[in-house]
């Protein structure tokens, strides 16, 4: 893989060496050649499903799904017969064949990963970074917030949250914005206080609790937020991942109580995370009742399902995930449409992995000026950093990532190192 990308440099201005791949690319640009998809593969590397689109010209493109979704492999391979023989640089043509066959989180992930891999190929063929194909960059560096950078909690008191936030503030990445889970998005917080809401805790899948909070429960969440904000002061923004699960009245009470703290946003209060509908009318009631920005969207698939949220001014910030919404061009379309309605964008991405990180950077470089920052994904397990090359070192500097200019997504696998991490079932992934 690395060899094919290095060979591509022969077609760039100022690079004299001609290579077979460069000749193929020139043929394509002059109409004498073509490129076709010959295979679609999926391997679980660590915990992330990784897809590889193989072409007849020796160029491969990579995409990735969240590390929480290893069960997606059969779903990815379902699309194989839909895309074989297609020109991967005709991204929209390929997507028209498969876009209709996805759904809300988690079932849009396979389509999204394919879309990202198509852009990776298209950039390599054109000899430009993906952001050039999305309209060009309007920023040389992109803001990221903490996402996958977390420190273990030692307890669930306000002081515990203050101590944890002090560690976050001193993290080497120098984040200018930090998000913390509270309320129903943080079962440990809610369950640490008996009688925090008028229902019993649910067992099984996470984020299944919801209901009317008690006075004790609501005051505890507010006290924890106040303790965190006191540590961060005015230097670092604080966003809160809250649900879903709040009632409208509790959401409004909570938001109004926090208004003096200038919280950056309250996320997924009503619906969100694995909820297969956005519930725009209910969000709008909360949004109109507070000055704190209200945020949602990580679970939503496709632009059509953001239509009500945006047109009804139901939220102040949308947060689609490029690995769930249908890909990076889909997310850019949503961001542009949100911008027309005075709505901001802060993409979700905590589990998107290092290929996903590269996609975020390329996409964020081209997003309109309603962009705030994206949720920073990390490599899990840690050895992911040993099998991928092309990322800056350090990746995040003072809360920002410099946008790189290599063709495609601009990252490659160290194939031999990556092969050593494959399961027996996936041995042929890089062959």
Lowest average pLDDT, out of 12-26, 74-88, 144-158, 232-246, goes to 12-26
The tokens for 197 are 């809401």
Domain boundaries, the chain: 2-132+418-424, 136-405
DSSP label of 264: S
Q: What is the mean pLDDT of residues 300-312?
A: 98
Determine the average pLDDT of the residues in 333-359: 98
Distance of CA 61 to the CA centre of its chain: 18
pLDDT at position 208 is: 85
pLDDT for 206: 76
User: Residue 297: which region, alpha, beta or left (left: phi > 0; alpha: psi -120 to 50)?
Assistant: left
CB contact set of 96 (below 8 Å; sequence gap of 6+): none
pLDDT tens per residue across span 148-188:
999 999 999 999 999 999 999 999 999 999 999 999 999 99
Residues in a beta bridge with 246:
211
Please write the tens of the pLDDT for every residue from 27-46: 544 344 699 999 999 999 99
pLDDT at residue 21 tops 70: no
**Structure-token pair, residue 84:** 């074989």
The terminus-to-terminus CA distance of the chain in angstroms comes to 10
Task: Name the β-bridge partners of 180.
Answer: 240
CATH 3.30.390.10 fits 2-132+418-424, yes or no: yes
**What is the pLDDT averaged over residues 249-261?**
98
Average pLDDT (319-337) is: 98
Q: For 264, phi and psi rounded to 5 degrees?
A: -70, -45
Question: What pLDDT does residue 24 have?
Answer: 54
**Which residue, among 283, 296, 211, 224, has the nearest Cα to 257 in the 3D structure?**
224
Helix axis angle, 158-169 relative to 215-232, nearest 10°?
30
Mean pLDDT for 94-102 is: 98
CATH topology for 136-405?
TIM Barrel (3.20.20)
Q: What is the pLDDT of residues 257-285, one digit of tens each?
A: 999 999 999 999 999 999 999 999 999 99
- Rounded to whole angstroms, the Cα distance separating 298 from 349 reads 8
**CB proximity list for 336: less than 8 A, separation 6 or greater:** 368
The whole-number pLDDT of residue 207 equals 74
Q: Rounded to two decimals, what is the model's pTM?
A: 0.92
Residue partners of 358: CB distance under 8 A and separation at least 6: 390, 391, 409, 410, 411
Query: E strand or H helix at 238, and its extent?
Result: strand 237-241
Interatomic CA distance for residues 161 and 263, integer angstroms: 16
Q: What is the mean pLDDT of the chain?
A: 93
């Amino acid at each position: 893989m690395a060899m094919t990308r290095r060979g591509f440099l022969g077609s760039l201005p100022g690079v004299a060496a001609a290579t077979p791949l460069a000749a193929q690319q020139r043929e394509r640009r002059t109409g004498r050649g073509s490129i076709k998809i010959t295979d679609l593969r999926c391997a679980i590397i660590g915990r992330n499903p990784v897809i590889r689109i193989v072409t007849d010209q020796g160029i491969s493109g990579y995409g990735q799904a969240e590390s929480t979704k290893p069960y997606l492999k059969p779903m990815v391979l379902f699309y194989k017969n839909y895309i074989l023989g297609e020109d991967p640089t005709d991204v929209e043509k390929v997507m028209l064949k498969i876009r209709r066959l996805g759904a809300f989180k988690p079932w849009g992930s396979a389509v999204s990963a394919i879309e990202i891999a198509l852009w990776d190929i298209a950039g390599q063929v054109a000899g430009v970074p993906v952001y050039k194909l999305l309209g060009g960059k309007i920023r040389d560096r992109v803001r990221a917030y903490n996402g996958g950078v977390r420190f273990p909690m030692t307890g669930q008191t306000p002081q515990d949250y203050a101590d944890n936030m002090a560690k976050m503030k001193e993290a080497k990445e120098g984040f200018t914005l930090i998000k913390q889970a509270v309320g129903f998005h943080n079962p440990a917080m809610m369950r640490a206080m008996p009688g925090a809401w008028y229902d019993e805790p649910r067992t099984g899948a996470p984020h299944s609790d919801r209901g009317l909070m008690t006075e004790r429960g609501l005051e505890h969440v507010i006290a924890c937020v106040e303790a965190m904000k006191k540590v961060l002061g005015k230097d670092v923004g604080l966003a809160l991942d809250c649900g879903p699960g709040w009632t409208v009245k509790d959401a409004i009470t909570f938001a109004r109580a926090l208004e003096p703290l200038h919280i950056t946003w309250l996320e997924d209060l009503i619906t969100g995370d694995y909820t297969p509908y956005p519930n725009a009318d209910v969000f709008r009631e909360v949004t109109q009742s507070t000055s704190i920005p209200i945020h949602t969207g990580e679970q939503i698939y496709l632009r059509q399902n953001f239509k009500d949220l945006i047109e009804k001014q139901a939220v102040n910030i949308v947060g689609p995930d490029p690995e769930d919404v249908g890909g990076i061009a889909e997310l850019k379309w949503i961001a542009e449409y949100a911008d027309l309605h005075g709505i901001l964008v802060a993409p979700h991405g905590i589990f998107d992995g290092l290929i996903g990180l590269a996609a975020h950077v390329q996409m964020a470089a081209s997003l309109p000026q309603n962009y705030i920052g994206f949720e920073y994904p990390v490599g899990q397990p840690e050895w992911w950093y040993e099998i991928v090359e092309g990322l800056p070192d350090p990746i995040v500097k003072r809360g920002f990532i410099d946008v790189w200019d290599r063709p495609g997504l601009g990252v490659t696998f160290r194939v031999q190192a990556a092969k050593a991490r494959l399961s027996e079932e996936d041995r042929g992934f890089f062959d």
